[in-house]
Copies of this chain bind each other. A is one copy, B any other.
Amino acid sequence: MTLTARLTELLGAANVLTGEAAARYCRDWTGKYQSSPLAVARPGTTAEVSATVRACAEAGVAVVPTGGLTGLTGATMNEGALMLSLERMNRIREIRADTRLAVVEAGTILQSLHEGADAENLYFPLWFGARGSAQIGGVLSTNAGGSNVLRYGSTRALCLGLEVVLADGRVLNLMSELHKDNSGYDLKDLFIGAEGTLGIITAAVMKLVPKPRAHATATLAARSLPDALILLNRLQEATGGAVEAFEYMPRRYMERLARELPNLKPPFAETHDTTILVEVGATAPRDADALADGSLPIVTLLEETLAGMMEEGMVLDATVARTEAQRREMWERRESAARITFTQMPIIDTDIAVPLDRVGDFLTAIDARLAELDPEATSLVVAHLGDGNVHYTAYPSRTDPALNEAVVTALEDVVADLKGSFSAEHGVGLSKLPSMTRRKDPVALDVMRSLKAALDPRGLLNPGKTIPPAGQ
């Protein structure tokens, strides 16, 4: 019996797709990666995932798990393997408001979890543009970040427990609800961020946090990046660490936004070098409950901090959101990054991190190197400044693999000099494999290969991703 026939027996014909029916799984969000899988399987339970993986192991066929196809590194690129979609496992099994956690299946869409938590007056604090498509399994497998990491951490910090199907089909049950558990090695964190190369995540226990009762949101122009960091530190001090987002949009980003999305009104009459979107979340009633005059204490705190820095000349202009619509408009400027970044080709999109006081050094150095390599090239930047995480996109003036490689290498050089990482939050997938080969500590690479060999000795789980083969 062929594997496809065997899977059809296991899952039903409606859940084993080929040809036209499989087409929509074969192209990811970036459009850069086209897959040609053997078939697409859509198991509906953990037991079915287990049986599917077991059948693949028996047939010696590789398995590539896939979520919402919103990744940016080609991590679900697939040539002849079984593509395993978790989309039917999309139930929020339980939300426990008293202990602030959600038990979710891997195919749950991030936005559904936001909505589920919201109904219990709680918040799942992982927030990024693709939240309407991204699935929890993919979010966990890439250790996704986003705009709230500053306060709440990346996906890893939000996960209490996992269920994982191993390469041989066995189910590893780590579905703990505990905040403390030192019974042996930390297996959970090994599977988080492993891009499906060590096991297939089928369910998880995720932390929820109190829903902020109010937000104070502002767009401001800082005199410089160091001044923006002073603002961040002052706001963290004033609010007791309640800053939820601190996003940097440089002049070129604001100009491009105005050009490509003219309906989005610019925040200021003048375009500044350093535009910042800041948001503070307040959960305590004394911060979030309106006073007799209608003012919100958390908003007043933000306004006073901004006013003080304007007097000192460190903030040049600022506007504070008065309504939810104004707040959404501020966020739309930032979240349009994904839409405007990918409209120009050729493109080298990167996702680096440096210590957060070195973002300015990074930008100065890389723009200089880019100009040397390709005087007509341009770049676009948007950054989670509070995490030192910069999305630097270069647009070379021509399609030229050697130039492309030179730009990426220059970027790696600059990042390495500043003790940064060439992959902050998007992961490795296929696109960052050359960087892994060139830049990752060889001992670390060797340890990763040992772990991969231990957990997937036949190399059947998402082969060719995350860890470059030895000897390259």
Which of A10-18, A62-70, A173-181, A255-263 faces chain B? A173-181
User: How many A residues, CB 8 Å from partner?
Assistant: 85
A205 to chain B, nearest CB (A): 10
Which of A32-40, A271-279, A313-321, A447-455 faces chain B? A447-455
Contacting A186 at CB < 8 Å: which of B192, B287, B301, B389?
Answer: B192
What's the Cα separation between A321 and B4 when bound, in Å?
Answer: 70
Known: A178-B420, A186-B190. Is A170-B237 also a contact (CB below 8 A)? no
Known: A172-B444, A454-B453. Is A421-B183 also a contact (CB below 8 A)? yes
Q: Is A424 a contact of B182 with CB atoms below 8 Å?
A: yes
What's the Cα separation between A193 and B186 when bound, in Å?
Answer: 7
Known: A180-B149, A283-B241. Is A444-B187 also a contact (CB below 8 A)? yes
What's the Cα separation between A447 and B190 when bound, in Å?
Answer: 11
Copies of this chain held together in the complex: 2
- Residues on B with C-beta less than 8 A from A409 are none
Q: Is A187 a contact of B356 with CB atoms below 8 Å?
A: no
For window 191-240 of A, CB contacts with B under 8 Å fall at: 192-194, 198, 210, 236-240
Which of A79-87, A107-115, A334-342, A425-433 faces chain B? A425-433
Known: A283-B240, A447-B172, A454-B451. Is A185-B181 also a contact (CB below 8 A)? no
Is A57's beta carbon under 8 Å from chain B?
Answer: no
Which of A127-135, A245-253, A435-443 faces chain B? A435-443
Is A98's beta carbon under 8 Å from chain B?
Answer: yes
Q: Is A441 a contact of B194 with CB atoms below 8 Å?
A: no
- Residues on B with C-beta less than 8 A from A436 are 183-184
Known: A172-B444, A177-B355, A444-B174. Is A428-B241 also a contact (CB below 8 A)? no
A105 to chain B, nearest CB (A): 19
- Residues on B with C-beta less than 8 A from A387 are 179-180
A446: nearest chain-B partner, CB-CB? B170
A144: nearest chain-B partner, CB-CB? B182
For window 141-179 of A, CB contacts with B under 8 Å fall at: 142-143, 145, 149, 154, 156-157, 166, 170-174, 176-179
Q: Is A176 a contact of B356 with CB atoms below 8 Å?
A: no
- Residues on B with C-beta less than 8 A from A177 are 355, 419
Is A99's beta carbon under 8 Å from chain B?
Answer: yes
Q: Is B466 a contact of A145 with CB atoms below 8 Å?
A: no
A466: nearest chain-B partner, CB-CB? B184
Is A388's beta carbon under 8 Å from chain B?
Answer: yes
Is A49's beta carbon under 8 Å from chain B?
Answer: no
Contacting A447 at CB < 8 Å: which of B154, B180, B187, B424?
Answer: B187
Most B CB contacts (10 A, CB to CB) among A190, A240, A285, A426 go to: A240
Contacting A282 at CB < 8 Å: which of B186, B236, B240?
Answer: B240
What's the Cα separation between A145 and B389 when bound, in Å?
Answer: 29
For window 53-111 of A, CB contacts with B under 8 Å fall at: 98-99
Would you mind naming 28 contact pairs between A and B with Cβ atoms under 8 Å apart? Answer: A98-B357, A143-B186, A154-B180, A156-B186, A166-B443, A166-B447, A174-B444, A177-B355, A178-B419, A178-B424, A180-B387, A181-B353, A181-B421, A182-B193, A183-B423, A183-B436, A183-B439, A184-B428, A184-B445, A185-B194, A186-B189, A187-B444, A187-B448, A189-B190, A190-B190, A210-B237, A238-B285, A451-B455
Minimum-distance CB pairs A-B, first 3? A454-B454, A189-B189, A240-B284
